[in-house]
Amino acid sequence: MIELRTPTQIEQMKPAGRFVADVLTALREHAAVGVNLLELDELAHKMIKDRGAESCYIDYHPSFGAMPFGKVLCTSVNDGVLHGLPFDYKLADGDLLSVDFAASVDGWVADSALSVVVGTPRQEDLDLIETTTQALAAGIDAARVGNKVGDISHAIASVAREKGLKINTQFGGHGVGRTMHGDPHIANDGRPGRGFKLQPGLVIAIEPWFLHTTDEIYTDKDGWTLRSVDGSRGAHMEHTVAVTDDGPLILTARD
């Protein structure tokens, strides 16, 4: 069921968005060569506790997960692009790290993700991150009253196709509110003018993710991490966005 939020409720969602943005900013600054993925998860866990927030991940157990997630972050490295389960791994020079984080503050959820290169970057990784960032911006710009869900999907895909990237539509954006995942599904490819008509009060997570040379993925033996079938690297960007009469409002905007 698609739910619409009142202006007052959107105001109430802002602290969650701000908190999620602050956590991702802290993680981006902390990620460095030699830092363990479990250390990043511990940092986020501490920030959750200090804020009095609640993790959306730690007990999360959808049908595609082998068991409850058990951590508060998704940390996907290199050929891992989504749902990366943190493990005992120290980041190496040149690693492409994607971090996805969602939390609930005062009963409202926000969800966001970013990708960074640790240490010495490869230009192709920087280009992939930039393309994913541009696709997110295009999708957000299409999140306007009167447009349709397909317009968001088409805007994302247009950026990816211009760069010659393939697009997986199995996992994408979604509604956000009292829970992390709700309707509507926001695929990263679609036909303009199709789907649910965007109305004021719709709050959604828009999240393009792409791999260098494929759109095919498989689940790692950890039961969670999604990896490219050909070993190519991936990037993932996400914001929680409210559709308003004044245009799209990014609730998880980072400084």
At residue 90, the 3 state secondary structure works out as strand
Among left, alpha and beta (phi > 0; psi -120 to 50; other), residue 238 is: beta
Whether residue 238 is annotated as binding a ligand: the answer is: yes
Q: What is the C-alpha to C-alpha distance for residues 113 and 242, in angstroms, rounded to an integer?
A: 16
Whether residue 100 is annotated as binding a ligand: the answer is: yes
Whether residue 174 is annotated as binding a ligand: the answer is: yes
Q: What is the C-alpha to C-alpha distance for residues 191 and 24, in angstroms, rounded to an integer?
A: 32
Whether residue 207 is annotated as binding a ligand: the answer is: yes
**Placement of tokens 């830092």 in the chain:** 35
Q: State the number of CA atoms in the 13 A half-sphere of 235 facing the CB.
A: 23
Q: What is the C-alpha to C-alpha distance for residues 217 and 202, in angstroms, rounded to an integer?
A: 30
Q: What is the C-alpha to C-alpha distance for residues 115 and 96, in angstroms, rounded to an integer?
A: 7
Q: Closest Cα to residue 14, out of 113, 114, 105, 137? A: 105
* Angle of CA points 129, 172, 179, to nearest 5°: 115
Whether residue 59 is annotated as binding a ligand: the answer is: no
Say which residues have a Cβ less than 8 Å from residue 48's Cβ, sequence separation at least 6. 23, 54, 55, 72, 103
Q: What is the C-alpha to C-alpha distance for residues 147 and 158, in angstroms, rounded to an integer?
A: 16
Whether residue 130 is annotated as binding a ligand: the answer is: no
Whether residue 29 is annotated as binding a ligand: the answer is: no
User: What are the start-end ranges of the E strands in 78-126?
Assistant: 80-82, 96-105, 108-117
Please enumerate, by residue number, every residue annotated as part of a binding site.
83, 100, 111, 174, 181, 207, 238
Annotated binding site for a divalent metal cation: 100, 111, 174, 207, 238
Binding residues for substrate: 83, 181
